[in-house]
Structure 1
Amino acid sequence: MRVLERAWYSGACWPRVLLPLEYLFVTLAKRQRAKKQAKAWQAPVPVIVVGNISVGGTGKTPVVVALITMLRQAGYNPGVVSRGYGAKPPYVPYRVTADCTAQVGGDEPTMIVQRTDVPLIIDPDRPAACRALLESAQCDVIISDDGLQHYALQRDIEIAVVDSQRGLGNQHCLPVGPLREPAQRLAECDFIIINGQGAFNYPEAARMVLVASKLAPLQAELLPVSVAEWAGKSVHGVAGIGNPERFFLALEALGLKVIRHSFPDHHPYRDEDIAFNDGLPVIMTEKDAVKCRALKLPESTYYLPVDAQFDNGFEAHLLKRLTQKISERANHG
């Protein structure tokens, strides 16, 4: 898989031998989409879907966290539904709580709840998750985390997130390229968010930057550290996300000298994965931290909380679109 992934983003020509499989993939995906949309379930409250059209991480989770904050500030009571990739709950639909382990609730859902205390339900069946959410919490807006291709759930607003460094790769669908749907799918979305300052661009897209100021400790006896205090310091960077290099570059932009340790997205960490035995601090992503708290940690282990900031008037445009959708629902009701 790693070889194929490098080919998608390097301009290699050899994946084109898989073009017949891409045609089959796209044809079947279109049929599935039409079939599911014909019977799609509509929630009684607006649904905002945050997703992407490429495989791998693009930065959806910071967008979801930012949406929760901006909706609350605007007077809404949001809830979240998620597939819960890698989660092993005792049953579904399952309500993730702040004291859940990542093994039960999934790393991203658990992180979202620990950060925001939002009501969040995991279930691969998105309509079932929405129904359970509305039965267990007073929500007037639902955010679907990573649900762009889950067409069994009707949506009022679609937000697609694209990594600015990787973009759309070679712009081919699986397995020739990294796309789950053709690149033209972006034109159907209400909003495009480009994560980072890389070369990828898209008309009228909002640009997102992730801002960090402090390092948060995983060990209770340690205190948070200002990033500025560690400028020039050598650290071990640990990332098990879709694009680990993005995290390492962010650490270097903060003035740190990073020894890179990349792991697959949603990696189940073991003690030996982060046992470097040289006394240097370890810094990981917030998503990784929820999986590592129970491990035997190096003496100084921290994670980097980040907050999303958007340009191009994204927040105002989103809230305006949501108001319009609520009005349309009322008029059709």
Structure 2
Amino acid sequence: MAIAQIIQNAWNKKAKWLIVLRPLSWLYQFGFTLNKKLYQIGLKRKFKAPVPVMIIGNITVGGSGKTPLLIQLVKYLQQHQVRVGVISRGYGGQGPFPALVNLESVPDVVGDEPCLIVQSTNVPMAVGGNRQATIELLIKHYDLDLIISDDGLQHWALERQIEWIVLDNNRGLGNQKILPEGYLREPVSRLKHSTVIEHAQHPQSELNMHLQVAEPYLLNPLFDQSERFDANQDFYAVVGIGFPQRFYDTLESIGVHQFQCHEFPDHYDYEIDDLQFEDLTPIITTEKDAVKLLPLLKNHPSFNREIWIVPVEAVLSEQCYQLLNKQLTQLGIDLIQGY
């Protein structure tokens, strides 16, 4: 098992041995704080985009639900005639960067989450580690009112007008320690300085979201797409996301109780052998994993195991939309009602 996976498991279990990593956490926090300060006092230059930038991020490593939230916000803005574009680092993609993302883009080039975002919304999108170059490429090809950055909360070189931090109450803040002793990218105090969206089924805050599960569907293009999903059968739960337990909880919520867990690192590059088991028990997985698996199925047409996808959609509280409308109005962006 890779050391990154060992540490990930230790974070989830709040293992006591993580204390040996505390000196590295001090070093990480010192470097992070110094870098942030250099931007604040102007010794390092920030890039200000020609249109307002909204960042959706988190202070933890691993999944928090920000991608479903971003997709839902894009759909909402599109419905209200806001010309929105999205940028992302394109983690897991090989580039070259910066690159535009379209419906023909593949995860190996631009990353899995950008493919999922564009397939879900057809939003103008560009990816790359250099946010300035990525934004410049995007606005060269599209007239935009707003740019949403998928992650990049800690990327101080990019000036932003709105920050939303997704806090997953199911996972929480772990041992509340900074990397690598814990899975926090920044101290908990960071939550006081941005809009915090609580991801929870039973939230305490008015600004909240939860994930609503839709009917699972078959990924295999050669299988009978009219086949109904049977939650009572056995499954291999194959998943490569930041917080697999959320997916297992989702399976339980839709009545799937008989499954074997097969976890891979976040943004994992699947090979067809990863989907081979001793029998033909179906696989069940996430939409994020599906964008990686579909090209494998097209390249291996003889693969005859069912792969079921569990789609989820972020449901935001009305207060989230009210706040967004207020924040955009303050930036001179008006949402057209009635769409």
- Change in Cα spacing, 1:204 to 1:150, as seen in structure 2 (3 Å) is same
CA distance in 1, matches of 2:46, 2:185: 20
Q: Is the 8 A contact 1:274 1:298 kept in 2?
A: no
1:326 paired to 2:327: no
Equivalences for 1:81-100 in 2 at 5 Å? Answer: 81-89=87-95, 91-100=96-105
Q: Secondary structure at 2:21's aligned position in 1?
A: helix
AA aligned to 1:15 is L
Aligned alpha-carbon RMSD (Å): 2.0
**Structure 2: gaps of 5 or more residues:** 334-339
Q: 1:223 aligns with which of 204, 222, 225?
A: 225
Show the counterpart of 1:135: 140
CA distance in 2, matches of 1:266, 1:322: 32
Shift of 1:277: 4.4
Show the counterpart of 1:185: 190
Equivalent pairs counted in the alignment come to 320
CA distance in 1, matches of 2:307, 2:18: 40
Q: Deviations over 1:110-144 (max 9, x none)?
A: 11111111111011011211111111112111000
Q: 1:14 aligns with which of 17, 30, 40?
A: 17
Show the counterpart of 2:57: 51
Q: Deviations over 1:162-206 (max 9, x none)?
A: 2222211111101221111111011111x21233337xx7x7463
With normalisation by structure 1, the TM-score equals 0.90
Show the counterpart of 1:126: 131
Show the counterpart of 2:213: 212
CA distance in 2, matches of 1:8, 1:231: 31
CA distance in 2, matches of 1:224, 1:149: 45
Q: Give identity over the alignment, percent.
A: 39
Q: 1:196 aligns with which of 200, 203, 226?
A: 200
Show the counterpart of 2:242: 242
Shift of 1:157: 0.7
Q: Is the 8 A contact 1:46 1:326 kept in 2?
A: no
Shift of 1:312: 5.7
Q: Is the 8 A contact 1:282 1:298 kept in 2?
A: no
Q: Is the 8 A contact 2:213 2:250 kept in 1?
A: no
- Change in Cα spacing, 1:281 to 1:241, as seen in structure 2 (3 Å) is same
1:255 paired to 2:260: no
CA distance in 2, matches of 1:292, 1:7: 28
Deviates more, 1:297-306 or 1:100-109: 297-306
Q: Is the 8 A contact 1:275 1:298 kept in 2?
A: no
Q: Deviations over 1:143-163 (max 9, x none)?
A: 000110111111111011122
Q: Deviations over 1:30-53 (max 9, x none)?
A: 111122343111112111101111
Show the counterpart of 1:270: 271
1:307 paired to 2:313: yes
Q: Deviations over 1:11-39 (max 9, x none)?
A: 43332233333222112101111223431
AA aligned to 1:188 is H
With normalisation by structure 2, the TM-score equals 0.88
